[in-house]
Amino acid sequence: MTDGHSPSEGSLYIVPMSEADIPHLTKLEAICFSSPWSQQGLRDELYNPNAVFLVAKREENVLGYLGFYHILDQGDIANVAVFPEARRLGVASSLLRAAVDYAHSHGICRMTLEVRPSNIPALKLYEAFGFVEVGRRRRFYVKPDEDALILAREFSST
């Protein structure tokens, strides 16, 4: 988080990732993932025309982010991360809702993602948004070693 204010103060809003967000997201990556993205890796996504990286904020405090790739009519969610003190406050739901809204308005027919089977809160969230298991990648994750469940959601073309 950026300045120690309570994550429950003020209204939550979702914005595209900016250069100013990158140091906060790098910190979040280190907290959440065993193989975190670097500042340069995140910065590169600012200039990737297929990347859609959304940041959840409250009173200018970075609470979390979601990054996905939009290629033709497909979307692939790469990362969803929320600072521990902001979890269970609807941040991930708001980010996922923004990604789904983007999908609807930009002609995405299908979104996919990978998730650890042990990440029960994430699985419940994705299932609540209509994602279903369509496959498994054996020993996909390291530290700790774990399979990845492949989830997908189809969108109607209407």
In a domain, 34, yes or no: yes
Query: Does the annotation count 141 as an active-site position?
Result: no
Query: What are 127's two structure tokens?
Result: 């299932």
**Catalytic annotation, pick one of 59, 114, 133, 146:** 114
Residue 21 lies in a domain: yes
Contacts of 66 (CB under 8 A, 6+ apart): 53, 54, 56, 77, 79, 80, 81, 92, 95, 96, 98, 99
- What lies within 8 Å, CB to CB, of 45 at 6+ separation is 17, 51, 53, 67
pLDDT (0 to 100) of residue 157:
62
Does 99 reside within a domain?
yes
Q: Is residue 124 part of a domain?
A: yes
CATH number at residue 54: 3.40.630.30
Distance CA 129, CA 140 (A): 24
pLDDT at 153: 98
Question: Residue 72: inside a domain, yes or no?
Answer: yes
Instruction: Please tell me the distance from the alpha carbon of residue 108 to that of residue 99, in angstroms, as a whole number.
Output: 10
Work out how many domains the chain is built from and give that number.
Answer: 1
Kindly state whether residue 119 falls inside one of the protein's structural domains. Answer: yes
Whether 5 shows a pLDDT value over 70: the answer reads no
Catalytic residue among 29, 45, 102, 126: 126
**Its pTM surpasses 0.85:** yes
Active site residue 65: no
Structural domain range at position 53: 12-154
